Amino acid sequence: MVTYKFKPKSKLREFVGEKFMALNAFTALIVILLIFIFIFKESLPIFTNSDVRKEAGISRMVFKQQYYEGRDPKWSWQPNSEVPKYSLLPLFLGTLKAAIVAMLFAVPLAVGAAIYSSEFAPPRIREIIKPVIELLAGIPSVVLGFFALIVLATVLQKMFGFTYRLNAINADMALGLAIIPIVYTIAEDAMTSVPKSLREAAMAVGANPWQVSFTMVLPAALPGIAAGIVLGFGRAVGETMIVLLASGNAAIISAGFTESIRTLSATIAAELAEVVFGSAHYNVLFFIGTLLFVFTFLVNLGGELVLTRIKERFQGRTR
Amino acid sequence: MDDNGIRIRLGRIADENSFDSDKLGTAKMTVENLDFFYGDNQALKGISMNVAENRVSALIGPSGCGKSTFLRTLNRMNETIPGTRMTGTVKLDSLDIYRAIRDVSVVRTRVGMVFQKSNPFPKSIFENVAYGLKVNGISDKRVIREAVEETLKKAYLWDEVKDELDRSAYMLSGGQQQRLCIARALAVRPEVILMDEPASALDPISTSKIEDLIGDLKKTILLSLSPITCSRPQEYPITRRFSTTGR
Amino acid sequence: MNGATKDAAMNSTLANLGARRKSSGVIPKGLTVLAVIIIVLMLGVILANVILGGIGIISWEFLTSPPEHGMEAGGIFPAIFGTVALVFLMLITGVPVGVLTAIYLHEYTQPDSKVTRLIRIGINNLAGVPSIVFGMFGLGFFVGFVGRGIDSALFSGAGPVWGQPAIIWAAMTLALLTLPVVIISTEEALKTIPGELKDASYALGATKLQTIARVILPRAMPGIFTGAILAISRGAGEVAPIMFTGVAYYLPYLPGKLNDQFMELGYHIYVMATQSPDVEKTRPILYGTVLVLLVLTFLLNFLAIFIRSRLRMRRLYG
């Protein structure tokens, strides 16, 4: 019989191992904090430095400014002109136009497809739709932007006779394509998790399948669908490449959607490369970044909260 | 029922030395006043018993009455489940395994366990048996090889697998896998082996192989059995009429 | 839905059923089918357009030679090389962190503890940060803080060595961006590991770390691979995070050191599409680059889906 003796195990190794893993686990959290700190820090001079404040303080970013003698005060974003102009309004407007139209385009398609997929589709078709959506989700945004720039813009211009080839509608359609997978996934999830008992109850009183879906399941899944829409909106606001390529990048204020727009995120992408480090322009760009970050952070937090509440509700835990 | 716990029968019997019911020999492990809780739910209540040294003892009771839970308290395996709590004492050779031994893995090398459903690792037969040695610091290849052969022989599995030690353990039949798990546990040379319904998932032939195996091990063994596996109750003089204790 | 809402909904359904003639419901149902068809069509149009436009130029030379004449001729090899190098560095820096995070969450914490919830908030929010914000963070933190810090520590501020755009900073920025994907994929894999295996390990006297290293990690490998592949396909397509952290449009060299700059497929597409002097000449190359990027992304996604379904099979059938 062979003899052997066991070695004792190192408690220190276990302890260090666990703490090291915990450190890694907190990385995500720490990074969020760091992102906020580092981006906000570069925008601080707007508030603290009097020179910067004169040029690009908060009031200059929000209110109409009179830039030239004898001309009316206006909102304008032209940081590189002789008299630098830093109004954020054109950018906000551009972002809103982009996001809202994209949602108008994407949400009906995504929710409609989700309804079909969860309520009416035979299983085999459902198995095809899922990869199709995943394929769509897998297309890099730069490719979508490229497509909108090269192909879609021409098609739309031919169809509708736009004055500007690259405009809000062009970019927004492509943006919508990028959002569809997000809204679809969450909406479909919300609808399939509606308990069977609800559907059966409706059918028991004689409703036919489409009535069951539209009058029972849809309202029940509404909070989940809403969360999906909110998260999609957050993504639309933050998306950069599509807008950069396809929207024309003109920071103007107008009511229509057939003109070029400039969004907050595209502004950062377009101008950060050439900006002078430490200048007021630089600070303002980082300030815009902070705004974007805070906005998407809040949107995400809200969406997640709604989704977890829904999950809890369906698992029987009432508040 | 005769309290002479040793002559059990999963089938045939283990011990050749019978003795008086008064003298069950020394107690290798003692349990005093054990209460066990899963969260707020009390699963075991006020259990006290001894596990006789070098004997095969059995706990018999219907499924769900806490046999597995009880066995797991004897080697602190319940600590892998969050939210569990226990009061009372469990002693191994008069050492309180919860309070006097700081490293829980030491307890488990001294009190081994074989589970109801065989659970070999997704590794080769050799690596399964060698696992216990490696995690406890043995790295000498020669030693490991000899130990693997030795334990596979003790588990009555060596002849069947000796040419295929590198094959995946999942290639073995159910009965063989369970014997592999027994060999794996034996390799660590525990002083006590706990077996939770070791043959309940097996066919009669495999079961009898394992019965022989257990009988020939000459170690302190505590089994749990459910009455269904005992075909003739009156022949099981069991150590503890465990049955519904604990509730 | 609690009892009261259920009753209310049923009552309204009953009322509707009674009040209206039972319409066959073709229109609403038809609309949803239309939605699906539109989506599929658009996807098809995009793919067809890219394939038709780009397939002509794909050749071995195209894939292996550098660009010439300001992108009007030649190939895109440096962009492919840069993308591969970038992604490789991203994996090295990101996957270990993600895997360890998932293991910690799964093995060391309770699902509803405060720690877990906090970490999950961090992960979910990280997943929602716009990629341009990552780019700014990469610039401000990695290039401006870490890089410059290294420079002043090692070279006392003599000329920027690490404090400038570099492939390592771009890779680490991307690693942060894809961290949630890795974490979630690993967690999915960890969930498939049966408790009996862990029990067997502990019962033999193994410690938690030993069980993780010898039993859990090997079993979770397919899931970790899936996560890595998904991270690659995401990372290879993102342009905004690397715009300021190290990518360049034309470099006469291939990145050889960690603080070199690099060319990359996605960025190449962006610049070529927006700043080419002669659009017609560069169009074929542009399409070719897009096709290469798309094929790469799709292949990776399919690979990940394939591995994931194999994993699921294994979970069901042992």
ipTM score of complex: 0.83
The structural domain count of chain A equals: 1
Domain for residue A65, yes or no? Answer: no
* DSSP, residue by residue, A157-216: HHHH--SSSS-HHHHHHHHHHHHHHHHHHHHHHHHHTS-HHHHHHHHHTT--HHHIIIII
Could you tell me the residue range of the domain that residue A98 belongs to? 85-314
The C-alpha atoms of residue A141 and residue A245 are separated, in whole angstroms, by: 10
Predicted pLDDT of residue C212:
94
For residue B162, name the pLDDT band (cuts at 50, 70, 90): confident
The C-alpha atoms of residue A138 and residue A140 are separated, in whole angstroms, by: 6
Q: Where are the domains of chain C?
A: 53-195+224-317
Torsion of CA B197, B199, B201, B202, to 10 degrees: 180
The C-alpha atoms of residue A117 and residue A109 are separated, in whole angstroms, by: 12
Q: Report yes or no: C176 at the A interface, CB cutoff 8 Å.
A: yes
% residues pLDDT > 70 (chain C):
88
| CATH code of A253's domain | 1.10.3720.10
Predicted pLDDT of residue B67:
80
Q: Looking at chain B from residue 207 to 246, which residues have their Cβ under 8 Å from any Cβ of chain A? A: none
For residue A118, the chain C residue with the least C-alpha distance is C32
Predicted pLDDT of residue B23:
47
Domains in chain B: ranges and CATH: 27-235 (3.40.50.300)
Predicted pLDDT of residue C72:
67
For residue B107, name the pLDDT band (cuts at 50, 70, 90): very high
% residues pLDDT > 90 (chain C):
23
Domain for residue A270, yes or no? Answer: yes
Name the β-bridge partners of B85.
Answer: B37
Q: Report yes or no: B136 at the A interface, CB cutoff 8 Å.
A: yes
Q: Please name the CATH architecture into which domain C53-195+224-317 falls.
A: Orthogonal Bundle (1.10)
| 8 Å CB contact between A251 and A268 | no
Q: pLDDT tens-digit profile of C201-222? A: 999 999 999 999 999 999 898 8
Nearest to B150 among A2, A6, A7 (CB): A2
For residue B187, the chain A residue with the least C-alpha distance is A4
Mean pLDDT of A15-37: 90
Mean pLDDT of B81-108: 88
For residue C7, name the pLDDT band (cuts at 50, 70, 90): low
For residue B26, name the pLDDT band (cuts at 50, 70, 90): confident
The C-alpha atoms of residue B216 and residue A309 are separated, in whole angstroms, by: 58
Predicted pLDDT of residue B227:
64
Name the β-bridge partners of B89.
Answer: B32
User: A11 vs C26, which has greater pLDDT?
Assistant: A11
Q: How many CB atoms lie within 10 A of CB A175?
A: 31
User: B131 vs A44, which has greater pLDDT?
Assistant: B131
The C-alpha atoms of residue C183 and residue C92 are separated, in whole angstroms, by: 14
What burial letters (b/e) apply to B134-168, b meaning 16+ CB within 10 Å?
bbbebeeeeebeebbbbbbebbbbbeebeeebeee
For residue B9, name the pLDDT band (cuts at 50, 70, 90): very low
User: A259 vs C211, which has greater pLDDT?
Assistant: C211
Nearest to B119 among C199, C206, C218 (CB): C199
Given an 8 Å threshold on Cβ–Cβ distance, is C196 in contact with B115?
yes
Q: Report yes or no: C204 at the B interface, CB cutoff 8 Å.
A: yes
8-state DSSP, B6: T
The C-alpha atoms of residue A44 and residue A62 are separated, in whole angstroms, by: 17
- Residues found in chain B: 247
Q: Does B241 score more than 70 pLDDT?
A: no
Q: Looking at chain C from residue 123 to 142, which residues have their Cβ under 8 Å from any Cβ of chain A? A: 123-137, 139-141
Domain for residue A68, yes or no? Answer: no
Query: What is the overall mean pLDDT for chain C?
Result: 83
CA distances from A208 to A51, A199, C17, C25, C27 (A): 70, 10, 10, 9, 14
Subunits in contact with chain C (3 or more CB pairs closer than 8 Å): A, B
Mean pLDDT of B128-156: 91
Nearest to C207 among B75, B105, B170 (CB): B105
For residue B190, the chain A residue with the least C-alpha distance is A6
pTM (two decimals): 0.83
